[in-house]
């Protein structure tokens, strides 16, 4: 029965239409929050059906839906998922549910619009991950900016207008080059299907320009150094929910874009230019790690640590060419791509948890300055337990999901070049340093002031919100098999695509 339902359309349109309903319900209705929660929960359950019905033995697109949309341009409403996109959809639906829960008592101002924005956002993000038509992909990719722009601008902090305009214009600037690239690919391949783009032959010159266009678009999203500056601003000003979605999912769209567009469409150019992207990634890992160390704002610290962690993703994706060159077997390359994917998913959960934890503190103290805290463990022991656990996961403690992805990428990097691995491994020190130092200053020590003294521990809603994430992080840490299995066939397929020259 599951196979007959248009599951992908459901996980896209249920939250969008539900979001519109919520929008027009108005703030005063008592059933507003339960309805939003039900929509988010139902969407999550539907996305679990995707997992249950997923065939792990093939790299082919699954749950495919295809109907003509704009006939003059041969644009199709063409959906489908493979091992890369399916886990990201599940990440999206889980994160959105948590955001709805997190908004429960906290958002007082224009609640219906807030919930609607996140539900619509969820549908759009699911659509980005499942679009197989370039125009459809681009439409959702851009449409996503609208709700996020409003979320940061309406519910954000004091400097929200600057932050949200910067966010919008940065990402819009990146994506218009993507549009030109996609239109050029259509010109060459006479089709808008992304899978046809993969097959089209391109000269090295064409590939280089296309790769640069993809790089601008997705590097801004990831974000890679030096186009990362919008992220700390956006994170600091965004409300908790906005930060969670930004960190957990929109950053992943950058990584996903490299997997879906850059690598398979321009493999030769990727090989030629891989040093460039690897350099940027290593700068992100090392330099941004140091920058994170110097932060005095909790959210900024997590934002910079996000950039450093995403550096691992781009590193993992682009070291495969060096591994090809060095090793006779392809196992290292598989490890690199899978490591990057695991890192994306794991960072999604951990960063969401970190931002939710900061949200819990912020709701009580209304400050994100690290210096305003101290000795929180004395007044909020349960919360401190969770926070320390997530901080450890962020630092890559073995047994948490944060460790798995980083370890796989570092291991693979050894097969590429010792120094790549060496520099990447500094994150284990830097990450531990900035996270633990933050933990020490915020949670341990004497109770710093009367406000901290007056703190109350997490309530039941917050407890379950953090506990569910803790379970996921722990589970993926000790048993990543279910995640890795799903993507294995797709990774193998990607590597065959990448290893075949298109010249």
Partner 1 sequence: MFQVPNMLFALPEMVLLTMACVILLVVAFTGARKIEWVYGLSQLSLALTLLVVLWSLGDWGLTFSDTYIKDALSDLLKVFICVVNMLVLLYSVNYLKARQLMQGEFFVLAVFSTLGMLIMVSAYHMLTLYLGLELMSLCLYAMVAMQRDSAVATEAAMKYFILGSIASGMLLYGMSIIYGVTGSLAINEIALAIANTDGNETILSFGIVFLVIGIGFKFGAVPFHMWLPDVYHGAPTAMTLFIAAAPKIAAFAMIIRLLAEGLIDLQNHWQDMLVMLAVLSMILGNVVAIAQSNLKRMLAYSTISHVGFLLMGVLSGTEEGFAASLFYTLIYALMTLGAFGMILLLSRQGFEAENIDDFKGLSEREPWFALMMMILMFSMAGIPPLAGFYAKLSVIKAVIDVDLLMVALVAVVTSVIGAYYYLRIIKVMYFDKPVVEHKLEASSSMQIMLSANALMVLGLGIVPGILMKLCTIVFA
Nearer to partner 1, 172 or 419 (CB): 172
Our CB check for partner 1 shows the closer of 71 and 481 to be 71
79 strand-pairing partners: 65, 131
Q: Report the nearest approach of partner 1 to the CB of residue 364 (Å).
A: 26
The minimum distance between CB 141 and partner 1, in angstroms, equals 8
CA dihedral 359, 363, 367, 372 (to 10 degrees): -100
Which residues are CB-contacts of 272 (< 8 A; sequence separation ≥ 6)?
204, 208
**Which two structure tokens, joined as six digits, stand for 96?**
């959105």
Give the chain's radius of gyration (CA, Å). Answer: 22
Q: In the complex with partner 1, which residue's Cβ is closer, 160 or 493?
A: 160
Rounded least distance, CB 142 to partner 1, Å: 5
In angstroms, what is the minimal distance from the CB of 484 to partner 1? 35
CB of residue 146 to partner 1, shortest distance in Å = 6
Among residues 192 and 225, whose Cβ is nearest to partner 1? 192
- Residue 216 or 436 with smaller CB distance to partner 1: 216
Distance of CA 21 to the CA centre of its chain: 27
Helix (H, G, I), strand (E, B), or coil: what is residue 449? coil
Peptide bond into 287 cis (omega under 30): no
Q: Considering the complex, state which of residue 126 and residue 164 has its C-beta at the smaller distance from partner 1.
A: 164
- Residues contacting residue 450 through CB under 8 Å, at least 6 positions apart: none
Q: In 10 A of CB 294, how many CB atoms?
A: 10
Contact (CB, 8 A) for 350 and 247:
no
Q: Please, which residue, 68 or 201, has the CB nearer to partner 1?
A: 68
Closest separation in Å from C-beta 226 to partner 1: 18
User: Would you say 35 and 19 are in contact if contact means Cβ atoms under 8 Å apart?
Assistant: no
Strand partners, 67: 77
Q: How far is the CB of 404 from partner 1 (least distance, A)?
A: 36
5 CB-side CA count, 13 A: 12
Smaller CB separation from partner 1, 187 or 366: 187
Using DSSP, how many helices (H) and how many strands (E) does the chain show?
A: 24, 2
Q: Using CB atoms within 10 A of its CB, is residue 207 exposed (0-12), middle (13-18) or buried (19+)?
A: buried
**Interface residues toward partner 1, by CB under 8 A:** 68-73, 135, 138-140, 142-143, 145-146, 149-150, 153-154, 160-161, 164-165, 168-169, 172-173, 176-177, 179-180, 183-184, 186-187
Angle at 222 between CA 217 and CA 223, to 5 degrees: 90
Q: Cβ of residue 385: shortest distance to partner 1, in angstroms?
A: 38
């Amino acid at each position: 029965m599951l196979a007959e339902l248009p599951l992908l359309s459901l996980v896209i349109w249920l939250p969008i239409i539900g979001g519109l309903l919520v929008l027009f319900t108005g703030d005063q209705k008592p059933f507003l929050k339960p309805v939003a929660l039900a929509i988010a929960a139902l969407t999550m359950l539907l996305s679990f059906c995707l997992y249950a019905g997923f065939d792990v033995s093939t790299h082919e697109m699954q749950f495919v839906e295809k109907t003509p949309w704009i006939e003059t341009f041969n644009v199709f409403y063409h959906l489908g998922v493979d091992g890369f996109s399916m886990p990201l959809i599940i990440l999206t639906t889980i994160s959105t549910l948590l955001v709805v829960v997190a908004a429960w008592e906290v958002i007082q101002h224009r609640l219906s619009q807030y919930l609607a924005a996140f539900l619509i956002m969820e549908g759009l993000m699911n659509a980005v991950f499942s679009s197989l038509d370039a125009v459809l992909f681009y439409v959702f990719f851009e449409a996503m900016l609208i709700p996020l722009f409003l979320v940061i601008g309406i519910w954000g902090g004091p400097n929200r207008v600057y932050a949200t305009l910067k966010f919008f214009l940065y990402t819009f600037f990146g994506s218009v080059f993507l549009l030109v690239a996609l239109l050029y690919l259509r010109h060459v391949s006479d089709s808008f299907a992304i899978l046809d783009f993969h097959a089209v032959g391109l000269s090295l010159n064409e590939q280089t320009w296309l790769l640069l266009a993809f790089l601008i678009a997705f590097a801004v999203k990831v974000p890679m150094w030096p186009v990362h500056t919008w992220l700390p601003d956006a994170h600091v000003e965004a409300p908790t929910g906005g930060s969670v979605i930004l960190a957990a999912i929109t950053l992943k769209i950058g990584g996903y874009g490299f997997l879906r567009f850059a690598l398979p469409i321009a493999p030769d150019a990727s090989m030629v230019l891989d040093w460039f992207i690897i350099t940027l990634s290593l700068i992100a890992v090392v330099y941004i790690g140091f920058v994170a160390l110097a932060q005095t704002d909790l959210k900024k610290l997590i934002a910079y640590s996000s950039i450093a962690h995403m550096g691992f993703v781009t590193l993992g994706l682009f070291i495969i060419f060096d591994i090809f060159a060095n090793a006779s077997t392809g196992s290292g390359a598989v490890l690199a791509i899978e490591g990057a994917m695991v890192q994306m998913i794991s960072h999604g959960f951990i960063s969401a948890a970190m931002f939710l934890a900061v949200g819990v503190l912020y709701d009580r103290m209304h400050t994100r300055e690290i210096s305003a805290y101290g000795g929180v463990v004395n007044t909020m022991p349960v919360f401190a337990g969770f926070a320390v656990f997530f901080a450890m996961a962020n630092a890559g403690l073995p047994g948490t999901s944060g460790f798995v992805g980083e370890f796989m990428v570092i291991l693979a990097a050894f097969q590429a070049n010792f120094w790549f691995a060496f520099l990447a491994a500094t994150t284990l020190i830097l990450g531990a340093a900035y996270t633990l130092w933050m933990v020490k200053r915020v949670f341990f020590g004497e109770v710093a002031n009367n406000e901290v003294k007056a703190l109350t521990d997490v309530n039941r809603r917050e407890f379950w919100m953090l506990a569910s994430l803790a379970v996921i992080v722990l589970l993926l840490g000790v048993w990543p098999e279910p995640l890795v299995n799903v993507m294995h066939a797709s990774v193998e397929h990607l590597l065959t695509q990448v290893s075949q020259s298109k010249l």
